[in-house]
Structure 1
């Protein structure tokens, strides 16, 4: 597998996911009765974004999601048909860059995807593109409010504007909570600054602790922000968080954005948290910078400081006031290390595995804090491109995510991403099952037209007995062709996605010929095709097609 993977938390692979096709029929004008076959390498930097439930035990697939694109590079971002219809199909969003885009390490293209959906906390992901050819897959975890991931708790209720408090409880893998208090006589305002006539506010507070990886990986935008506003100056760097909250309010049928009097917010601090400024545990009287987050733009803004004290139970809390609503974050921010204009560090693998195996994740750490997670290719000699925040003293730890709890299988030494380009890693892994290599040839047919399209697209195969962590294989096809390694004798579902439609089929890969069977429920369009085995090369060939009804 040669895909390059970024910011993935967990490979939850749904039944409604697959292949994003970067093509457009609009410019095709075949002669009557003449069949044309066209390649589709017209757009750049193909991206597939998977929105997943942030809890590792959940099999729930986020649906009904809506997205918007903002940021300096937004005008160069298009959907897989070259338009601006940014529609999430199931939990998959496919994007490319316009053919005029020229991203480089020195001049990256940066944009932000904001996402919201029923039952999930709104969040966003800032994406940096530095290569016009490299296909990249992003996995963005979402917090389900009814069943949040470990390290996260939520509370909802009605709070009086004559004075009231709401509290996010301890539990779910953390010993700290959070609360907000509204002072008597407070008035609330909408986004335009107009006062909302109300006596109460419907309020929700979500608290994220710092001791659970699932909580940290739900941090909006990640811990290497590139849109940080400090006293009016926009910069980039790295966060080390002591905890964060998301606060939402409704009053009189309108969304509350600000207050006539600041609200008071208290966030509990883990006993194990260490101040990165002095490598000491926090003490009463210490101060922590506070930051607010604008979800629609991905901007963090420094707002002031929170003061550390102890509550009645003797636990550390940080207290601050807020005049508006958003994510609020207790964070130490650093512009660490020289700006080396290198956004990636290569991790080169030494293992006993000779073919791609799914279900492994690489986690990037700065000190003891996980910054990001990545799908990781454990094949011997493989190189994974790790997006780094350009700060020193980092390491990558690889975990076997098919186990619960996840099992570590190896880690790098500490490295400075500005000082090295490639870092070795030795992995201790169980012997993989016998593989079989499959050469894939895909064709999309335009219904009613003598036109065949050879798509450049993401390809996904899912093997159900492999489980949510270990059952998927994916690759980016170039002009309809790709090579993947799968388990011999196992049945796989093959998925395709194009123009808001998805197509699916199932096939078993063996050393015999077989037929692709259509799969899926009512309204799901099928794939057709067959496999053949070449004994001389010991490889399987899969030839598959599907029909597009709306080519113009």
Structure 2
């Protein structure tokens, strides 16, 4: 498969390319190697479609240290909602001197994306953020107020969410007049105050940060505590506040009031009865910039003027907030070592964790009772975050027959290896075939010193569809004349679109309708610029 002339420039496109033509002859080429991606922010637009005119900028104390992987400040979200950011080579983030900035995305018909980032190292970070239309059907509300030059709120600011479900919990958040508003560094926040709240569905902890797992949450004193899982949830809300310069509001000089309206059937599992006035329920906050939960002073259940039950707490900073009873879980559980005749590939088999006492499925952190895994011979299948004190079995279902293999009952908190013999499973009729994807140069040998990068990033989709999927990174191996990977993600006989580039999100080369007719998908690069 020979690509048109621009493909011959694949290693150069987007790398400050000055000239590229086909054939490459007597052309001076200069380029800059891409910077490592430090932050990948995946936007999740309501309805699955990004706004047409989404403008992205970076603001905040260290915004000047943030660039694209191509070392520009032309920030752009990809078609599939991804934003890739890098740090300038001069930036040196540490735990004591982190890099702080805020990603801002604006569009005419959507609420602004205002996402704070704190980096204490150059290690890659992956984040996700919702993007809501202004005429949203989601339980999202935005209110505005005003603070003076000293950051003092001029009037009481109250925000009330709609319910995430009919008859479900709602949240009211009230900041008293005169309270000084401060940003994450303690500076006052003056001007127009925008407060946006999203009500969380208390029926599904899977939507909470960490899928409802509080991994070693900090105590009120700032010390790590045992990992827990949300059980019965009284209320949950995400709160974001900022001024018109997108200066974030993080804390208050005096407490604000957080109120969850409770559903009548809410149970207090500690008392084994419905919740009633006077009950204390734990309160947790989540800081997305560091990815950690912290236990806050508990709130109390009261009856309001309408004789309805409410949960009331005082808070001094903004975060995601959840009031809930929690369950004790184990960070690591048994590891199942599989014996099978299933050949290597990406065939997935249905699995269930079963409570050995009740014989009922145990839901995972996403609330599902099934999960899927490959079962290649020698594979290990570890389990995590099982209830403390549980005894479990693992069911694995053959996809080619009614056969179900059940493991021995084991302690859910014992991090021990358990053999699991699946050799009774039938060999699949349609075995997956590995396909090599290769960018191949017309050389007997490459001049490795000339290569500006040793990795190419690519995405594919089946022709006629809209969603792009990442291929594994195509890498150059010394002594070869190609960048290549082996994958089971694409299949012989199908037609795909492909896009590729020298950095994530910068897919400067795109080709539609490429039929894979053998187990090697070869993309022939015409240029001899890198040949010896």
TM-score by length of 2: 0.58
Q: Determine if the alignment matches structure 1 residue 53 to structure 2 residue 56.
A: no
Quote how far apart the aligned CAs of 1:65 are: 7.6
Q: Quote the residue 2:4 is aligned against.
A: none
Question: Residues of 2 paired with 1:313 and 1:355: CA distance?
Answer: 61
Q: Determine if the alignment matches structure 1 residue 205 to structure 2 residue 209.
A: no
Question: Residues of 2 paired with 1:386 and 1:66: CA distance?
Answer: 40
Question: Residues of 1 paired with 2:262 and 2:515: CA distance?
Answer: 52
Question: Residues of 2 paired with 1:425 and 1:51: CA distance?
Answer: 40
Q: Quote the residue 1:217 is aligned against.
A: 207
Question: Residues of 1 paired with 2:496 and 2:174: CA distance?
Answer: 53
- CA contact 1:229–1:299 (8 Å) conserved in 2: no
- Aligned pairs (5 A) from 1:379-528: 379-381=374-376, 383=379, 388-389=384-385, 392=388, 393=390, 416=412, 418-421=414-417, 436-442=433-439, 451-452=450-451, 455=454, 460-465=459-464, 468=467, 472=469, 474-477=471-474, 479=476, 480-485=483-488, 486-499=490-503, 501-503=506-508, 504-511=510-517
- CA contact 1:53–1:142 (8 Å) conserved in 2: yes
SS in 1 for 2:295: strand
Question: Residues of 2 paired with 1:286 and 1:333: CA distance?
Answer: 15
- Aligned pairs (5 A) from 1:294-313: 294-310=287-303
What CA deviation, in whole Å up to 9, does each residue of 1:326-379 have, x standing for no partner?
222324566744x76x8x956969999985369999999996573599x97654
What CA deviation, in whole Å up to 9, does each residue of 1:167-194 have, x standing for no partner?
0111457722111123354443455556
Question: Residues of 1 paired with 2:179 and 2:375: CA distance?
Answer: 62
| Count, aligned residues | 434
Q: Determine if the alignment matches structure 1 residue 245 to structure 2 residue 247.
A: no
TM-score by length of 1: 0.57
Question: Residues of 2 paired with 1:360 and 1:47: CA distance?
Answer: 35
SS in 2 for 1:318: strand
Question: Residues of 1 paired with 2:351 and 2:104: CA distance?
Answer: 26
- More relative contact order, 1 or 2 (CA 8 Å, 6+ apart): 1
Question: Residues of 2 paired with 1:148 and 1:305: CA distance?
Answer: 35
From 540, 544, 547, the equivalent of 2:520 is 540
Whichever of the two has the greater Rg, that structure is 2
Question: Residues of 2 paired with 1:367 and 1:417: CA distance?
Answer: 14
Quote how far apart the aligned CAs of 1:228 are: 2.3
- CA contact 1:441–1:481 (8 Å) conserved in 2: yes
Q: Quote the residue 2:250 is aligned against.
A: 257
* RMSD (Å) for aligned C-alpha atoms: 6.3
Q: Determine if the alignment matches structure 1 residue 143 to structure 2 residue 160.
A: no
Quote how far apart the aligned CAs of 1:476 are: 4.7
**For structure 1, which runs of at least 5 residues remain unmatched after alignment?**
1-18, 25-32, 34-39, 71-78, 96-110, 399-408, 512-532, 534-538
Q: Determine if the alignment matches structure 1 residue 156 to structure 2 residue 142.
A: yes
Quick check: which one's strand share is greater? 1
Q: Determine if the alignment matches structure 1 residue 179 to structure 2 residue 169.
A: no
- Aligned pairs (5 A) from 1:74-93: 90=78, 91=82, 93=84
Change (3 A) 1:201 1:283: same
- CA contact 1:473–1:484 (8 Å) conserved in 2: no
Change (3 A) 1:112 1:235: farther
Change (3 A) 1:347 1:218: farther
SS in 1 for 2:132: coil
Change (3 A) 1:315 1:294: same
Q: Quote the residue 2:400 is aligned against.
A: none
What CA deviation, in whole Å up to 9, does each residue of 1:53-99 have, x standing for no partner?
176x524389848699x9xxxxxxxx999x9x9x886315499xxxx
SS in 2 for 1:501: coil
SS in 2 for 1:234: coil
**For structure 2, which runs of at least 5 residues remain unmatched after alignment?**
1-9, 16-25, 27-32, 63-67, 87-97, 106-111, 147-153, 356-360, 397-403, 477-482
Quote how far apart the aligned CAs of 1:217 are: 3.0
